[in-house]
Amino acid sequence: MKHLPNLLIVDDSEENLDLLEKVIKKVNVNLIKALSGQEALEKTRGIDLPLAIIDVRMPGMNGYELALKMNEERPGATVPVIFLTASHVDQKQIGQGYGVGAVDYIFKPVDSQTLLSKINVFLDLFNQKQTIARDAVLLKKSANKLALALIKAEVTTQKYKTLLNASPDGILLIDMKGIITEASEIGLQLLGADSKDGLVGKNVFRFVPFDEKNAVKNIIEMTTNEGLAQNIELKIRKINQSVFPGEISATLMQDPDGVPLSFMIIVRDISQRKKIEAKQIHADRMSTLGEMASGIAHEINQPLNIISLIVDKILFESAKADTIDIEFIRNKSDKIFENITRVKNIIDHIRAFSRSHDDYISIAFDINSSIENAASMLAEQFKYLGINLIIQLEKHIPLILGNTFKFEQVIINLLVNAKDAVMEKKSKQEEYFDMITGIRSYTENQLIIIEVTDNGIGISNDDIHNIMLPFYTTKDEGKGTGLGLSICYQIIKEMNGSIEISSDPAHGTKIKLGMDIENLSNNVSTR
């Protein structure tokens, strides 16, 4: 039986609790209500808590203290918290909130649609974790059954057919020429066939778009040479010509003498997973913007201050004489419009960065410009913290194909991690520590390389192999969701790139992104 996820709401006003309950009843959760921090702790002790909605100001135990105590009772796990507040929250309080697990702030009176949308994002993350765990169990059971069947029976195409309809995923058998010879019931449904006659005898290439044919050839070649190809994502086309995102695994079938007979292709529809990943990426983008709020405010205040000074100068000069020089007015006006444009560009870029880009079509973009845009949103924060950010970008790097805003998100996540690493090391140093982070782009051996480095705390050998897994984090409790590097991996994988991490606690961490120029050159012209 599927258990509903728990959702905690805490407010010292019964009226507010009743109002929140009316809104949250629209989603499928097990709602836990509490009028105080102590009551909340007693009701949630020993249970999973995917999300808590907590009032900041409460007598006895405030919202920050409650969030801290909940996380102390859950070693290795952080409860995501949406804080409710009826008054202004300054930068220090925001930092305190993020330190104990805050993922967002909502001001009272609460807008029901805003609250529901934020709740649904975290429920989707919870459901994804449940699905991943369940799928892992099913996959292990299926693998054990298959292994036992192979040990006990002669490995032939006929023996494999008995397992076709036991799989939760679609299964196709194709011969060495790529012709479909058998299909499971789930396979028929995935490809939109009414019966096996709609698939059997057809070439497998009919069920992939033209731009994915090379990917299928690579899967067949890899399976022929290595015996196995696993979890390769590509678009799949149904009989009615509609397309869905899929995941393919393939196994080479051989007779007892090792002669290849056919391929067993496992097909999975990952449409829902892709939607959840998109929500994860967007939620991470919003969280990142929250962290950068003070730096962005400074970026906007700077041109506003310049405009203010220019206007004061014009008023001062006009007060001294009956007439004022037209050229003087023209020059000062140009300066005003120049800074207004600067403010507009900052706001436009933040607006574009914060939007969801699910329907974004991949285009060629300047990777150095994307790096500079990402770095500019953090530069003031780094400067305020005393972190030296060194940017070295090789000129005339080829354009790259993809989503420039998603790539900026990767760079921002990596720079934020670098910032946290050097700040953590500084907190443990007894003497002066020169905090340094860097980002570099260059070409090498037909690859575009982007390196993000820091001289921070480093990553241990035990952690470095798990660092890309969703929800895995090396940060202290209450800091980070564990999604940042996982999201970076998803985005770079979509762009057919690679990520390498090397780290030494004594010297810091280097993260290297690699993009194949040869693959890009077929689609994108260089500058």
What's the CATH number where 68 sits? 3.40.50.2300
Do the domain assignments include residue 475? yes
Do the domain assignments include residue 31? yes
Copy the structure tokens of residue 117. 């949308």
Do the domain assignments include residue 299? no
- Give the amino acid at 323: T
Cα 83 to Cα 110: distance, rounded to the nearest angstrom: 11
Whether residues 364 and 495 share a domain: the answer is: yes
Average pLDDT in the 297-324 region? 72
Average pLDDT in the 332-358 region? 68
Q: Which of 470, 454, 469 is nearest to 502 (CA)?
A: 454
Q: Which of 100-109, 441-450, 494-503 has the highest mean pLDDT?
A: 441-450
Average pLDDT over the chain, rounded to whole? 77
Q: Please determine, for residue 421, whether its predicted confidence score (pLDDT) is greater than 80.
A: yes
Q: Which of 38-47, 67-76, 279-288, 406-415 has the highest mean pLDDT?
A: 38-47
pLDDT at 472: 40
Cα 278 to Cα 245: distance, rounded to the nearest angstrom: 13
Q: Please determine, for residue 475, whether its predicted confidence score (pLDDT) is greater than 60.
A: no
pLDDT at 391: 94
The set of residues, in sequence order, having a beta carbon less than 8 Å from that of 392 and lying 6+ positions away, is 438, 439, 440, 441
Beta sheet of 508-516, edge-to-edge order: 388-393, 436-444, 447-454, 508-516, 498-504
pLDDT at 311: 81
Cα 185 to Cα 166: distance, rounded to the nearest angstrom: 9
- Give the amino acid at 441: S
Whether residues 59 and 167 share a domain: the answer is: no
Do the domain assignments include residue 303? no
Q: Please determine, for residue 272, whether its predicted confidence score (pLDDT) is greater than 70.
A: yes
Whether residues 259 and 360 share a domain: the answer is: no
The string of DSSP codes covering 138-202 is HHHHHHHHHHHHHHHS--SHHHHHTTGGG-SSEEEEEETTSBEEEE-HHHHHHHT-SSGGGTTTS
Inter-CA distances, 241 with 183, 277, 305, 360, Å: 19, 25, 57, 21
Give 80's Cβ-side CA count (13 Å radius).
Answer: 23
Average pLDDT in the 50-77 region? 86
Residue that wins the pLDDT comparison between 32 and 286:
32
pLDDT at 151: 46
Residues forming beta bridges with residue 400, ordered by sequence position:
365
Copy the structure tokens of residue 352. 């574009």
Q: Please determine, for residue 1, whether its predicted confidence score (pLDDT) is greater than 70.
A: no
Whether residues 213 and 65 share a domain: the answer is: no
Between helices 271-291 and 112-152, what is the axis angle to 10°? 130
Total tally of structural domains belonging to the chain: 3
C-beta of residue 201 within 8 angstroms of C-beta of residue 177: no
Task: Grade residue 282 by pLDDT with cuts at 50, 70 and 90.
Answer: low
Whether residues 60 and 194 share a domain: the answer is: no
Do the domain assignments include residue 322? no
Whether residues 102 and 161 share a domain: the answer is: no
Residue that wins the pLDDT comparison between 403 and 482:
403
Whether residues 353 and 499 share a domain: the answer is: yes
Do the domain assignments include residue 295? no
CA 32 and chain centroid, separation: 29
Asked which of 269, 287, 319 is the last residue of a domain, the reply is: 269
Average pLDDT in the 131-150 region? 61
Whether residues 465 and 369 share a domain: the answer is: yes
Cα 292 to Cα 304: distance, rounded to the nearest angstrom: 19
pLDDT at 255: 77
Q: Which of 258-272, 294-308, 335-349, 428-442 has the highest mean pLDDT?
A: 428-442
Do the domain assignments include residue 312? no
pLDDT at 226: 84
Whether residues 172 and 221 share a domain: the answer is: yes
Q: Long-range contacts made by residues 73-78, C-beta under 8 angstroms, separation at least 24?
A: 73/41, 73/45, 74/49, 75/477, 76/477, 78/477, 78/478, 78/479, 78/480, 78/481
Residue with tokens 């192979």: 150
Average pLDDT in the 119-139 region? 69
pLDDT at 524: 44
Q: Does the reported pTM lie above 0.75?
A: no
Q: Which of 439, 449, 435, 433 is nearest to 415 (CA)?
A: 439
Asked which of 239, 269, 299 is the last residue of a domain, the reply is: 269
pLDDT at 216: 82
Task: Give the domain CATH number at 511.
Answer: 3.30.565.10
Range of the domain at 379: 347-521
Whether residues 361 and 504 share a domain: the answer is: yes
C-beta of residue 156 within 8 angstroms of C-beta of residue 162: no
Asked which of 269, 291, 306 is the last residue of a domain, the reply is: 269
Do the domain assignments include residue 526? no
Q: Please determine, for residue 467, whether its predicted confidence score (pLDDT) is greater than 70.
A: no
pLDDT, one tens digit per residue, over 422-460 is 998 888 887 888 999 999 999 988 889 999 999 998 887
Q: Please determine, for residue 516, whether its predicted confidence score (pLDDT) is greater than 70.
A: yes
Task: Give the domain CATH number at 159.
Answer: 3.30.450.20
Whether residues 115 and 159 share a domain: the answer is: no
Residue that wins the pLDDT comparison between 59 and 323:
59
- Give the amino acid at 248: I
C-beta of residue 23 within 8 angstroms of C-beta of residue 112: yes
Whether residues 237 and 354 share a domain: the answer is: no
pLDDT, one tens digit per residue, over 172-210 is 888 888 888 888 888 888 888 888 888 888 888 888 888
Q: Please determine, for residue 477, whether its predicted confidence score (pLDDT) is greater than 50.
A: no
